[in-house]
Amino acid sequence: EAGVTQSPTHLIKTRGQQATLRCSPISGHTSVYWYQQALGLGLQFLLWYDEGEERNRGNFPPRFSGRQFPNYSSELNVNALELEDSALYLCAGTSQGGRIINTEAFFGQGTRLTVV
Amino acid sequence: KQEVTQIPAALSVPEGENLVLNCSFTDSAIYNLQWFRQDPGKGLTSLLLIQSSQREQTSGRLNASLDKSSGRSTLYIAASQPGDSATYLCAVNWAGNTPLVFGKGTRLSVIA
C-alpha cells in the first residue's frame, strides 16, 4: 500500500511569489493535516481538512490557505511568500473526522520550501 | 492551553544502553498519544499509538507507556543501536476539532 505522498520534494521560490504544495493521503484516509516545521522549531499546525471542508486552522495569516479534493488529496497554497516561510511542510492523513477518532496519523516525507 | 513537553531536549548514550524518553502533557482528557521518529530533514515515521484506554504498547525494542492521570508518557528503547539516532516526537490527540499537538522532541544520539 502506498504511503502518504507529497510533492514536490523541494521547492525554491522568490519572495512575493506563490507556492503550491500537494499531498495524497493513504487510501481510506479522509482527513489531511498540514504542519510547518521551521529550522530549529517544533511542528506548528497549519490546516486541517476533512471530507472536503476546512475543520480548523492554526495561528497563521490568511495567505496560508488550501483545499481538499473529492479524492481526499489536498493542496496547500502560500501567497506573497516571505523569507520566514522557508521550512519543511509536512502533511498527515488519518481517518479522524469526528466519527472515527482513535486512529493513527501517517505523515509524508515533506516538501522543503526555500524562499530567497 | 493544551501543551506537550519533552525532556530532555537532547540525549547521547553509548550503544547497547537502555534509555527512556519522557513526554508530559497538560489536560488528561486525551483520545490518544502517538510517538514518532524523525530523521534529519525527513518526514515523521509513526512508532507507536497508545489509545486513551491503554497503559502501554510494544513494538520490537520499543515500549511506550501512558499515565493519563499524571499527564505523562514514556518511550523505552531497549539495547539502543546507532541506527536509533534520530529525533523522537510525542504528539497528543485531544477531544474535539483539535489537531495533533507535538512536543519539541528529544534528539537522540547513540554512539558506537
Specify the pLDDT at position B94. Answer: 87
Q: Looking at this protein, which amino acid is placed at residue B94?
A: W
Q: Which residues of A touch B34 (CB under 8 A)?
A: 104-105
Across the interface, whether the CB atoms of B42 and A109 are under 8 A apart is answered yes
pLDDT greater than 60 at residue A88: yes
pLDDT at position A39: 87
Chain B closest-CA separation from residue A15 CA (Å): 22
Summary mean pLDDT of chain A = 91
For residue A41, the model assigns a pLDDT of: 84
